Amino acid sequence: MDLKSLLNKEQYEAAITIDGPLLVLAGAGSGKTRVLTYRIAHMIEDLNIPYYNILAITFTNKASGEMKERIKRLVDINIDSMWVSTFHSSCVRILRREIDKLGYNKNFAIYDSSDQKILVKQCMKELNIDDKDIDEREIISKIGKQKDKLVTADEYKKQNEKDFRKNKIADAYLLYQKKLKNSNALDFDDLIFKTVELFKKNPDVLEFYQNKFKYIMVDEYQDTNKAQYELVKLLADAYKNIFVVGDDDQCIYQWRGADIRNILEFEKDYPQTKTIKLEQNYRSKANILNAANVVIKNNAQRKNKILRTENPCGEKIKIYRAFSDMDEGQFIANEIKRIMQEENRSYKDFAILYRTNAQSRIFEDILMKRSIPYRIIGGQKFYDRKEIKDITAYLKFINNLQDDVSLKRIINVPKRSIGDATVSKIQEFANYMDECMYSVLLEVENIPGLSKRSINSINKFTSLINSFNRTKDKISVSKLIEEILESTGYLKALRDSGKIEDISRIENIKELVSAAVEFENISEDTSLSAFLEKIALVADIDNYDGETDTTVMMTIHSAKGLEFPVVFMVGMENGIFPGTQCMDNFAEMEEARRLCYVGITRAKEKLYMTSANSRRIFGRTVNYSESDFINEISLNLRENIKDRRTISSVSRKTSYNTYKNNELGPHALSFGEKTASKAINSILNDEHTSSLSHETKGSSKKIDSTEVSIGRKVKHEKFGVGTIVSISKNGDNVKATIAFDNMGIKQLMLNVAPIKLL
């Protein structure tokens, strides 16, 4: 393989350095995935290193899938069983083989966030923890952070015995772990936590995997937390053939445990480290890249590197300061339409990136009104829908009869006369007997306080589950789903409901069956456990399809690793991006700046950074200044642009033609919060009506047209108080567009309308 002709100098050096520790600092768009894939192909094809001695770890299924496909195209042997996977997927594979050494069964369940929430709430109830004092989100967050730091429940309890609040959380952590163990279940954080525990408690198991994986490669190393760091260190300890690639300037997950010190101090962990910098960017135009460089250089906690490119300068970064958040959205919709017309682009060329998911609503509303197709990455996931969770709960329970959380979800779905009171009695008796709920259900007559009707219903349910359990290994997953749907009456209940939403639920269930069929066609392991692993570990970004012709909206965190020809970074205001919490916190400000750097480097050709003079947050209007990150960009790299709809930026006047084209928003919003919001809502919903010359005779005396001006308050006998937002004259006739506080937009002839100036 002629790597020299395929890679640049630094990429080539990284690809051929195989033995010993290697740190590759890869700037945005510098081809790190190319280096990884060619490096692995070189090891297999040219050096005859067995592919089963290589472990390549990524952070997303999408990244691992793409990497594996690229490697397949470069080598002549079948590498389907090669370990190219995420941290969590790799750990699941290890635990499926070895977790019995920790006292679990190998068919353990993986609890998602909603399962976690149910279990934590149950713990809170048993411990009499009032959710007004400590809610389940805080407990789940604290437990997750401890697991990221490899702190056990017992250790956390000892550390916080004198802190009343944390001691309560420690009690919940202890009980939560006990219930997980009793249910033969792990949560998402446990997957890595338990693998590290397995290796530390079983040196022979660790030695086996060290000898199996003599060469270890880790992508996005800057995003590793303590548990991931420890896992990699344990595996690499024997041979020290560890290759890590990452960019400290793109460390944006400290809020979920990522420790930037892991990459900054890599040379301390491995003194023989060779360090290579990839600074040649192949993605962005020069102006965009230079803007990213001048912003990130303000961070102190970083390795020194400067991205360069041979791409042309391209356009300057366009800075737009809107009158309001609504105007910001209208401006972006206009630019998308304009660029598509002038440059013959597709909708998929555009991305709207924001700091938090809550910012998406206004853009959704406006893109919908303007017939711009869009999709949101980070909304409700397919596997989070009720009907999908119902059926997967059946699958999870059939696979692991100790799974109390899944049992409680399905025991009365569809309804089979097993109510909440009955379930509570079953739970209490199971707790008393220190057994899983299904064990006591099998001898339901021993549970005190149950009616004969409930006992009959439970016996029918257990008979059904036993039937599924007997056939689960004899039929495919797709056939098992179909059998569940038919035998339980779940599908029939949806068909008979008559509700419109249940029609879409049926379509979603069909899609689940299709997903199972696809899984069976492409997977080496087609067992129920393997299918459940696949859907448990899927991330929203894994479903991103760059070929779908829609504008994409997502957080900048979700956009990491992606690229788009045209990017709009929105909400660029002090208080939003960077957030208020960053102002007095050095570490958080540096992370916010890294996030800004990530956002900038998603853009290939055009970059817009927009902000608003006023916007509504949590129901109140706020006024934030333009982001300091914008001001860090050199003046020669950016240009302030005005909305092409604006006739005069000083007077903010608008014409009737502008009004007719639904372009009134920014002007109306400059005249006060209440009036403006009603005006915009009216315009966007096409509710504006014409009330020309239809006023009653004998109205108030005429208004002198010389007294009328945009922004002037008026009062109408019927419509109440309003604000003049547009004026047009035709001879002696003066027509005003008025945004009324309670009646929306009206157009009135001032010589006949019953109004007076305020």
Annotated binding site for ATP: 26-33
Q: Contact at 8 Å (CB) between 218 and 32?
A: no
Would you call 473 a catalytic residue per the annotation?
no
Q: Which two structure tokens, joined as six digits, stand for 373?
A: 């197709």
Write the CA distances from 522 to 100, 127, 483, integer angstroms: 29, 46, 22
Q: Contact at 8 Å (CB) between 409 and 393?
A: yes
Would you call 219 a catalytic residue per the annotation?
yes
Would you call 33 a catalytic residue per the annotation?
yes
Q: Determine if the peptide bond prior to 578 is cis (ω within 30°).
A: yes
Q: Contact at 8 Å (CB) between 575 and 584?
A: no
Residue pointed to by tokens 């390795």: 303
Would you call 250 a catalytic residue per the annotation?
yes
Find the helix or strand (DSSP H, E) in which 467 lies: helix 452-471
Percent helix, strand, coil in the chain, to 5, is 50, 15, 35
Nearest to 746 by CA among 725, 730, 731, 717: 725
Q: What is the DSSP annotation of 514-575? A: HHHHHHHHH-S--SHHHHHHHHHS--GGGG--TTS-SEEEEEHHHHTT--EEEEEE---BTB
The residue from 98, 136, 171, 219 that is catalytic is: 219
- Within a 10 A sphere around the Cβ of 37, how many other Cβ atoms? 24
The residue from 147, 602, 712, 746 that is catalytic is: 602
The residue from 220, 230, 349, 387 that is catalytic is: 220
Nearest to 682 by CA among 736, 729, 737: 737
Q: Which residues are annotated as a binding site?
A: 26-33
Q: Contact at 8 Å (CB) between 116 and 405?
A: no
The residue from 250, 422, 488, 737 that is catalytic is: 250
The residue from 33, 280, 550, 621 that is catalytic is: 33
The residue from 11, 32, 590, 723 that is catalytic is: 32
> Sheet holding 733-740: strands in order across?
689-690, 744-749, 733-740, 720-730, 713-716, 755-757
The backbone torsions φ and ψ at residue 163, rounded to the nearest 5 degrees and listed phi first, read -105, 110
How far apart (Å, rounded) are the C-alpha atoms in residues 263 and 250? 11
Which residues are annotated as catalytic? 32-33, 219-220, 250, 602
